[in-house]
Chain A
Amino acid sequence: GENVEQHPSTLSVQEGDSAVIKCTYSDSASNYFPWYKQELGKRPQLIIDIRSNVGEKKDQRIAVTLNKTAKHFSLHITETQPEDSAVYFCAAPDTGRRALTFGSGTRLQVQP
């Protein structure tokens, strides 16, 4: 099955700085890598995803990079704002299980 490791577990940055969260996965057959954001008391919501046929995808201030050879992918948030404060989860498909396997989450705190 898939194993997803996520680091760091907590991250504190100053408003305007960049934040990077990294994940590794084990199943070389995985080809879809979503990132979810969970604000306090709310549901996890997809913010960006990437498929294995591209190495990078950007959407305004957020971007995801994928290195299939090394089996790792990262979330990059630029010009962070207080509303970016949340728990972020990476995920990858467990092809045997036919469901997403999630990382342990990163609590991002953006200090104003």
Chain B
Amino acid sequence: EAGVTQFPSHSVIEKGQTVTLRCDPISGHDNLYWYRRVMGKEIKFLLHFVKESKQDESGMPNNRFLAERTGGTYSTLKVQPAELEDSGVYFCASSRRPGGHTEAFFGQGTRLTVV
């Protein structure tokens, strides 16, 4: 079974530019999560999809962040325009069941650096 894959693995962009991160979850996993880890801090929840629907986006920092999951398969997370404080590692995770009561499988992350 293929794991969760994320693209790109690294991205360096200038402040004000746009970046789009992609996540392909494990096939058959309806639940898809985006998390972010800023240097040395916790892996912080951003949002949760169930299939193509946003179940919870209360962790999104502001309206410069837009996540989509068209067709309930892969998901994208767009940051526009990027700010310096958006730097960090963005993780995607997927699970068969929701609610944080079962293993979440993580991608390798996208390290975003805004300069």
**Chain A residues close to B by CB (< 8 Å):** 4, 6, 9, 31-32, 34, 36, 41-46, 49, 89, 91-95, 97-105
Contact = CB atoms under 8 A, between A and B. Distances in A.
Interface residues of B, number: 28
A62 to B, nearest CB: 16
B14 interface: no
Contacts, number: 75
A52 B37 CA distance: 27
Interface of B: 3-4, 33, 35, 37, 40-45, 48, 55-56, 58-59, 91, 98-104, 106-109
6 contacts: A42-B108, A44-B43, A97-B48, A98-B99, A105-B37, A105-B41
B91 to A, nearest CB: 7
Nearest to B45: A99
Contact of B108 (A31, A43, A94, A97): A43
A18 B37 CA distance: 28
Nearest to B98: A98
Given A4-B42, A44-B91, A94-B45, A100 B108 contact: no
Contact of B41 (A44, A101, A104): A104
Contacts of A98: 48, 55-56, 98-100
